[in-house]
Amino acid sequence: MKKLIKRILPSAKGQGFVEMTLIAPILIFLFIGVFELGWVLRGYLILANVNRETVRFSVRPAYLNFYTRQRGGVGYDKALGQMFATLGERLPFDEAIPQNNALLTLSHFVINTNLPCKDINACDCSTFNYAEDKPGAQEYYKSLPQVFTYDDIVLHPALSDYNFFTYTTYTKASSPGKPTRITDPADYAYHRVLENIKFNCDLMKKSKTVLPSNNNLIVSEIYYNQPQLTHFPFLSVGENTIANRVGIPVTDPFPMYINTAMRMIASSRGNDNKAAIGPYCAALPIAGTAALNQAVPQFDAHGNPSPIYIDNIFNGWLAWNPSHPESSADYLRYELKYTQMAVNDYKGDDPNDMLDAGSELDPVAPLSGSPSAADLKEFQEILATYANREVIIPILSGGSSSGSMDGAAVVILKTDEIDLANNKIGAYLMKRANDECLDPLYRPE
């Protein structure tokens, strides 16, 4: 009977082996998965450090020079070399890898907002709060009635004349993804404008003597495709496999993305550093004479300007925005004090609403009305503050008092030859404003 029962009941021999056979692949799969997850997390942390090192390198003074309109002259190759050198030491980075495995995008944003309001005591700082994920930041900022924009400089890669503010490189010909996730640079810039002006507003409420803070940024974005550690078949789904084409995510290489934004050191407080800001046509509201237009700049053997004296460069006052709300005298006072109004308050045919002497031939209106003798005396004192400094004088239609801007000159005012009562300003011509205002004439050889 016992023998019969043993034959009927299943034997326990081999049960452990069968169970181990069933569970072992799952355990191996989980074990390798833990390794791969740790490898990915390690790679992401290293990538974050590499990106921080790259942007920290880029924001240091004299490493990148944005005072050029040529992308090749900015110095992006230095930041690129820093990124690849640091990345190659810490993560798998080899041209033999079939996929692109590294991409760097650098973007530059100039956010100089300075005074939040005309009257800081009456300024409501809370109105500058704006949700980061909410679009329409530029329209909201310009709709605020209390905000003071005449001293702003806001430049970003979406402006047609500033596309050199962004740079993307690949290790190979094709891209492993979109080169940037900043899909609307203008909206991104004005979110930073609102942040900066809110900061300045709170700061100046506490202390009236503090200098406003600028917010010129370098944004570094790195895409990196990290190869798997083990290339385990069930975890490794390549980009050209059937599994990927039916919708299974690509896991070998594992795609990573990280971005870091950092303020440029040279522009942190009250610093009008040309290399950190870039060229812009910050012109005085003075129509240059035909004599200024006809003068040919001279340069020495090293390309340095040789000043040429012109006894009168004054041919009338200009209004960047003919629809300005202030009186003519008050508006001109602002124009003389804030030369950046030629950039931020110009209203004309330029698609960017930014004054320049490029192919658009931007029209400029003469200032309506005539300043009083008292106003002229004050304006003469303001002009005297520009002594020994290079300033930009626009030239309209070959030297007329109105028309389209077809040129601009860089001059140094001779302060003892400024006589506004007799419509006279003497100055030394240095060069044409090629970089600043896209003047097409007379570059040094």
| Model pLDDT, residue 311 | 94
Q: Give the integer Cα–Cα distance in Å for 191 and 199.
A: 12
Average pLDDT of the chain to the nearest whole number: 83
Q: Give the integer Cα–Cα distance in Å for 425 and 311.
A: 7
Instruction: With a cut of 90, say whether residue 29 has pLDDT above it.
Output: no
What is the DSSP secondary-structure string of 101-122?
-EEEEEEEEEEE---SBSSGGG
**Least confidently predicted of 116-125, 179-188, 234-243, 349-358:** 234-243
User: Within a 10 A sphere around the Cβ of 188, how many other Cβ atoms?
Assistant: 24
Instruction: With a cut of 80, say whether residue 15 has pLDDT above it.
Output: no
3-state secondary structure labels for all residues of 125-179: HHHHCCCCCCCCHHHHHHHCCCECCCCCEEECCCCHHHHHHEEEEECCCCCCCCC
Q: Give the integer Cα–Cα distance in Å for 6 and 212.
A: 93
Q: Give the integer Cα–Cα distance in Å for 139 and 150.
A: 16
Q: Is 256 helix (H, G, I), strand (E, B) or coil?
A: strand
In contact, 408 and 357? CB cutoff 8 Å:
yes
User: Within a 10 A sphere around the Cβ of 29, how many other Cβ atoms?
Assistant: 13
Span 399-423, pLDDT tens digits: 888 888 888 999 999 989 999 999 9
Residue type, 196: N
State the pTM of this model.
0.84
Cα–Cα distances (Å) from 106 to 48, 59, 158, 168, 407, in that order, read: 15, 11, 14, 7, 32
pLDDT mean over 364-377: 91
**Least confidently predicted of 15-24, 288-297, 406-415:** 15-24
Q: List CB contacts of 2: < 8 A, sequence separation 6 or more.
A: none
| Model pLDDT, residue 2 | 60
DSSP state at residue 286: B
pLDDT mean over 77-100: 68
Instruction: With a cut of 60, say whether residue 60 has pLDDT above it.
Output: yes
Residue type, 288: G
Q: Is 373 helix (H, G, I), strand (E, B) or coil?
A: helix
Q: Give the integer Cα–Cα distance in Å for 279 and 66.
A: 7
Q: List CB contacts of 150: < 8 A, sequence separation 6 or more.
A: 334, 338, 340, 341, 344, 345
Q: Give the integer Cα–Cα distance in Å for 290 and 399.
A: 4
Confidence tier at 98 by pLDDT (50, 70, 90) = very low
In contact, 101 and 113? CB cutoff 8 Å:
no
Longest dimension (CA), the chain: 134
pLDDT mean over 361-388: 90
